[in-house]
Amino acid sequence: MKLGIHAYAWCSQWSNDTLYLIDKVKEMGLDFIEIPLMRLDTFDAEAVKARLQQVGLGAVTSTVLLEDTDITSDDPEVRARGVDYLKACVQATADIGAQSFSGVIYARHGDPTLSRPGEHLWRYSAEGLRPVARFAQTLGVQIGLEPVNRYESCLINTCEQALRLKEMIGEDNVKVHLDTYHMNIEEKSFYAATKLAGEDLIHYHICENDRGIPGTGLVDWDGIFRALAEMGYQGNAALESFVDNTDNMTTWVWRKLAPDGDTLLREGVAFIRAKQAEYGMI
pLDDT digits over 44-99, tens only?
A: 999 999 999 999 999 999 999 999 999 999 999 999 999 999 999 999 999 999 99
Q: Report the share of the chain in percent with pLDDT over 70.
A: 95
Per-residue pLDDT tens over the stretch 119-165 = 999 999 999 999 999 999 999 999 999 999 999 999 999 999 999 99
Question: Is residue 281 exposed (0-12), middle (13-18) or buried (19+ Cβ within 10 Å)?
Answer: middle
Mean pLDDT of the region 255-270: 82
**What pLDDT does 282 receive?**
82
- The CB-based long-range contact list for 162-170 (8 Å cut-off, 24+ gap) reads 162/197, 163/196, 163/197, 163/200, 164/122, 165/106, 165/122, 165/125, 165/126, 165/129, 166/200, 168/122, 168/123, 168/125, 168/126, 169/126, 169/129, 169/130, 169/133, 170/126, 170/130
Measured distance CA(262)–CA(154) in Å, rounded: 34
pLDDT band at 115 (very low <50, low <70, confident <90, very high): confident
- Say which residues have a Cβ less than 8 Å from residue 127's Cβ, sequence separation at least 6: none
Q: What's the mean pLDDT when you consider all of the chain?
A: 93
**Higher pLDDT residue, 177 or 248?**
177
pTM, rounded to two decimals: 0.94
Find out whether 119 and 75 touch, Cβ atoms under 8 Å.
no
pLDDT band at 247 (very low <50, low <70, confident <90, very high): low
pLDDT band at 250 (very low <50, low <70, confident <90, very high): low
Write b or e for each residue in 134-166: b if 16 or more Cβ atoms lie within 10 A of its Cβ, otherwise e: ebbbebebbbbbbbbeeebbbbbbbbebbbebb
**What pLDDT does 241 receive?**
72
CA 72 to chain centre: 20
- The CB-based long-range contact list for 279-282 (8 Å cut-off, 24+ gap) reads 279/225, 279/226, 279/228, 279/229, 280/229, 281/1, 281/225, 281/228, 281/229, 281/233
**What pLDDT does 262 receive?**
79
CA 2 to chain centre: 14
With both helix axes pointing from N to C terminus, report the angle between 221-231 and 261-278 in degrees, rounded to the nearest 10. Answer: 60
**CA-based nearest residue to 161, from 122, 103, 192, 110:** 122
**What pLDDT does 274 receive?**
97
> Cα-flanking dihedrals φ and ψ of residue 177, to 5°?
-125, 110
**What pLDDT does 45 receive?**
98
**Every domain of the chain and the residues it spans:** 2-278
Residue 33 has pLDDT above 80, yes or no: yes
Find out whether 9 and 261 touch, Cβ atoms under 8 Å.
yes
DSSP H or E stretch at residue 143: strand 142-145
Q: Which fold has domain 2-278?
A: TIM Barrel (3.20.20)
DSSP-derived 3-state class of residue 225 = helix
Per-residue pLDDT tens over the stretch 12-22 = 789 999 999 99
Residue 172 has pLDDT above 90, yes or no: yes
Catalytic residue ranges: 146, 240
